[in-house]
Amino acid sequence: MIEEKGGPDVLQLRDEPEPTAGDDELLVEVEATGVNYRDVYEREGRGAAYGKAKVPLIVGAEGAGVVLRGAGEFSEGDRVGWVAAPASYAERVAVPAGAAIPVPDGVTSEQAAAVLLQGMTAHYLAYSTYAVQPDDVVVVHAAAGGVGLLLTQMAKALGAHVLATTSTAEKAELARGAGADEALGYDAFRERALELGGAHVVYDAIGATTFADSLASLRARGFMVLYGMASGPAPDLDPQSLQAKSLYVTRPGLPQYIATREALLERAGAVLGWVADGSLDVRVGERYPLEDARRAHEDLEARRTTGKLLLIP
């Protein structure tokens, strides 16, 4: 938990009373917790979504485990996952029944915690924000990260030509293993995309350091999809600069794509179904004991990681 906003050093392990689940909440024994960049933003108090959050608070929003006390459609012993339950860096979490997702047979709790938030993010990016079409030129930044590896697989399944950007040769190999047609450094993707006629879409979770080249790499009527800011906020943009190629720029977020119970279960069901039948590979890059949450954040921010990071209580 944190008592003030700041760097990874503000995270501290503490014994707190077990959460009290309300009438419409499940009490869940956590088996795995997902570590995400939104947790970094929450810890820092970065952006409109997290800047006003009051401390002290327990960080995290994603996990999976076994129901200890049921509510709604869930009973004791059921396995559930979630992406929107506060205070998830913990051994037990109170999960709103409306936010709980049934975990099917054939998917472990670790897999569920590793894939739900990032898998549904990749799903809405590839299927809704910009619906990838066969033969589209698609740029996926940070392609060896948790979302990147899943998004690359989905874009390839839809028939795209994927240009993956990575920072090391090891990460490039992971991106190619996920199906990327080409793995490039951040200094090379723009030129290569333009050689192919320009990208139909760029999926950018990096922000400040990639934004300008991402825009420049697009073809006429291309889509710039900024869904994260790992390197900091994107620079200010003059809308008039988009006119020459009639470009689109959007900054989507998962909550608006799972705003109803139906939408949540539809996206989660698709992702978990692909995991269960083996058509979507989930890479867990590192597992940390809960007490090492600080180290997990340090590794994530230093871009030393690939795939998904998990905390194991």
Q: Give the whole-angstrom CA distance, residue 268 versus residue 117.
A: 9
Task: Give residue 243's pLDDT.
Answer: 97
Do residues 43 and 297 make contact, with C-beta atoms less than 8 angstroms apart? Answer: yes
Do residues 154 and 126 make contact, with C-beta atoms less than 8 angstroms apart? Answer: yes
Q: Could you list the pLDDT tens digit for every one of the 313 residues in the chain?
A: 999 999 999 999 999 999 999 999 999 999 999 999 899 999 999 877 777 889 999 999 999 999 999 999 999 999 999 999 999 999 999 999 999 999 999 999 999 999 999 999 999 999 999 999 999 999 999 999 889 999 999 999 999 999 999 999 999 999 999 999 999 999 999 999 999 999 999 999 999 999 999 999 999 999 999 998 878 888 899 999 999 999 999 999 999 999 999 999 999 999 999 999 999 999 998 999 999 999 999 999 988 888 899 999 9
Task: Give residue 260's pLDDT.
Answer: 96
User: Which sequence spans correspond to the domains of the chain?
Assistant: 8-116+258-312, 134-251
Q: Give the whole-angstrom CA distance, residue 98 versus residue 48.
A: 24
Give me 220's structure tokens: 């006429």
Residues 6 or more apart whose Cβ sits within 8 Å of residue 9: 294
Assigned architecture for domain 8-116+258-312: Alpha-Beta Complex (3.90)
Q: What angle do CA 215, 216, 217 make, to 5 degrees?
A: 90
Task: Give residue 11's pLDDT.
Answer: 97
Task: Give residue 231's pLDDT.
Answer: 85
Assigned architecture for domain 134-251: 3-Layer(aba) Sandwich (3.40)
The burial class, CB within 10 Å (0-12 / 13-18 / 19+), for 126 is buried
Task: Give residue 307's pLDDT.
Answer: 83
